[in-house]
Amino acid sequence: MPGNALRAGPVGPARTSAQAPAKELNGDSAFRVARGFGRRPSTAFERVLGALERHGSRVTGTGRQRAAQCPAHDDRNPSLSITDGNDRVLIRCHAGCDTDDVLAEIGLTRADLFDRDDRQQYRSGDDQWTPAGPAVAVYSYTDERGEVLYQVTRTADKQFRQRRPDPSKRSGWDWSTRDVRMVLYRLPAVLAAPDSACIFLVEGEKDVHALEAAGEIATCSPRGAGKWRPEYAEAFAGRDVLIVADRDALDPKTGRRAGADHAWDAYTSVQPVARSAWIVQAAEGKDAADHLAAGLGVTEFVWWEL
Ligand SMILES: [Zn+2]
């Protein structure tokens, strides 16, 4: 995929020799090898393709549209189409096999056609009510041990509200997060990440989930762009960090780009303590979630350009 390779040098101030990273990133192959990407395929699309391959079906095509030999009939030419939908896989045998029969042959059920991580974003135990309308997503922020400190709720029209557990309230929640300790999203996973893992620092929870579905370790700071706090940097001490900057339009009022400013705030905070820190951006779309939804991989982010 020409044009999508990392194509420019790193951004940010040069390091002193004392701070030099143990490994140099000198292009795509080093980037790919050194970071141990793609450990744990977990999207429904990857699950279905993996099951077909294990069954012995030949899979052809690239990107979000594939074809395979149908496991439910004697298929010499690939007549099963597999399409990566937004949060689910669509499969269809053009010879007319029943989808349940196709799935049974490869040891899957209809539930396997859905991205599990997406379905877990909203758990039935979480109260859907918010002052801004019903939540379509509820994100729990926890301390190091997994204890919920607060939740961020998102409505369909992208209104975000925060709440903290409060047993004295009938709903169990207090919608003020004043004096609550603010932490990174997925803090326990970041702290438990293997030393070799690259940690993705993105702008929003949706991006974190998209990267997790791709098998990566990812985090974001709460409350979106412009709300970075220096204490968040601690969790990145000694780690390799890839910051994915959102590609925002210029704000006519401020003359600034919120996503770029946010990435730079995070970079200047994390870089002095991290083993390495780099800023990249989506090759397609605005953010990491768009990039992955376009069928691009985690090694196909491009270097940040203003
Ligand atoms: Zn068939």
Q: From ligand 1's centre to the CA of 82, what distance in Å? A: 12
**Cα of 87 from ligand 1 centre, angstroms:** 24
Q: Which of 97, 147, 135, 89 is nearest to 113 (CA)?
A: 89
Q: How far is the CA of 94 from the centre of ligand 1 (A)?
A: 7
Q: How far is the CA of 118 from the centre of ligand 1 (A)?
A: 29
Cα gap 209→212, rounded to integer Å: 5
Q: Mean pLDDT throughout 251-261?
A: 91
Task: Check residue 306 and give its pLDDT.
Answer: 62
Could you give the count of Cα atoms lying within 13 Å of 196 in the half-sphere of its Cβ? Answer: 9
Q: Is residue 32 a contact partner of residue 39, using CB atoms and an 8 Å limit?
A: no
- Domain extents in the chain: 25-42+185-303, 44-114, 126-174
Distance 70 CA to ligand 1 centre (A): 5
> 102 C-alpha vs ligand 1 centroid, how far in Å?
7
108 pLDDT exceeds 50? yes
27 has pLDDT over 50: no
**113 alpha carbon – ligand 1 mean position (Å):** 17
CA 44 to ligand 1 center in whole angstroms: 20
Looking at residue 68, its pLDDT comes to 96
User: What's the average model confidence in pLDDT over 173-201?
Assistant: 93
**Gyration radius of the chain over CA positions:** 21
Decide if 99 contacts 79 (C-beta within 8 A): no
pLDDT at 60: 93
Amino acid making up residue 221: S
Q: How many angstroms is it from 110 CA to the middle of ligand 1?
A: 16
Instruction: Dump pLDDT digits (tens) for 138-183.
Output: 899 999 988 899 999 988 898 899 999 988 887 788 999 889 999 9
As a whole number of angstroms, the distance between CA 242 and CA 226 comes to: 18
What separation in Å is there between the alpha carbon of 91 and the centre of ligand 1? 10
Q: How far is the CA of 169 from the centre of ligand 1 (A)?
A: 56
Q: If you classify domain 25-42+185-303 with CATH, what class do you get?
A: alpha beta
Tens digit of pLDDT for each residue in 39-87?
344 688 988 999 999 899 999 998 889 999 999 999 988 999 999 887 7
Distance 116 CA to ligand 1 centre (A): 26
User: Mean pLDDT, to the nearest integer, of 272-278?
Assistant: 97
The predicted structure's pLDDT at residue 110: 80
Q: H/E/C letters for each residue in 136-196?
A: EEEEEEECCCCCEEEEEEEECCCCEEEEEECCCCCCCEECCCCCCCCCCCCHHHHHHCCCC
Whether residue 118 is predicted with pLDDT greater than 90 in this model: the reply is no
The residue assigned the tokens 């690259």 is: 198
In the chain, the percentage of residues whose pLDDT exceeds 70 is 82
Q: Are strands 80-84 and 148-155 parallel, antiparallel or unpaired?
A: unpaired
